[in-house]
Structure 1
């Protein structure tokens, strides 16, 4: 299997950066676009477990839009072949002493790269 083919890795890095920009600016339309529209998609958040695209979309629509800025650290993106990738990062928010962690599994679909599973947690 081809790991981190340069052109695929560049695509995935761009998708991750687009997601990150949408997250911190609360661009719900882009966030919704970047999750796979499927009942198989899931997102475990810091305080919620969301099963299926609709639950994730509902969460995004009702999430507070303040205090979303963050700094990512130790981001690792790995592509496996041409259609599958993982993205993992740590993050910090100003005024919050806790370090966050985010893991995403991405799949190439006919519409482009989409998150099929995600996990967000905070260290004590």
Structure 2
């Protein structure tokens, strides 16, 4: 299996950046497009567990558009073959000093393009000291 083929990493990175832009601008249409429209698609959020594209879309539609700005750090895009990838990032919000968010997404290439099939978001206190 080919791991981290540069052209595949570039494709997934572009989709990840598209997701980030849609997230902070509350572009619900793009966010809905990027999650696989399937009952098996999952998103475990900070305070919600969403099963299926319908629940994910309903959550996005109901979410207030304020306070979504964030900055990311230590983003890692890992690809496995030409059709599977994992995107992992840390994120920070000015509204939550001393806290760090963690986000992981599993991306799969389908005929309609790259789609998120599983996502997990959590927030912890910012670790003190150098990274382990």
Q: What CA deviation, in whole Å up to 9, does each residue of 1:31-78 have, x standing for no partner?
A: 000000000000000000000110000000000100000000010000
Residue 76 (structure 1) aligns with: 76
Write the mapping of 1:44-55 to structure 2, written as runs, cut at 5 A: 44-55=44-55
Secondary structure, counterpart of 1:123 in structure 2:
strand
Residue 108 (structure 1) aligns with: 109
- C-alpha contact 2:26 2:68 (8 A) present in aligned 1: yes
Give the total of aligned pairs.
124
Q: Which structure 1 residue ranges, 5 or more long, are not aligned? A: none
State the superposition RMSD in angstroms: 0.6
Q: What CA deviation, in whole Å up to 9, does each residue of 1:83-112 have, x standing for no partner?
A: 000000000001312110000000001110
Distance in 2 (CA, whole Å) between partners of 1:95 and 1:103 is 21
- Structure of larger gyration radius: 2
TM-score in terms of structure 2 length: 0.93
Secondary structure, counterpart of 1:99 in structure 2:
strand
> Which contiguous aligned blocks of 4+ residues in structure 1 show a shift greater than 6 angstroms?
none
Residue 64 (structure 1) aligns with: 64
Secondary structure, counterpart of 2:65 in structure 1:
coil
Residue 20 (structure 2) aligns with: 20
Residue 42 (structure 1) aligns with: 42
TM-score in terms of structure 1 length: 0.98
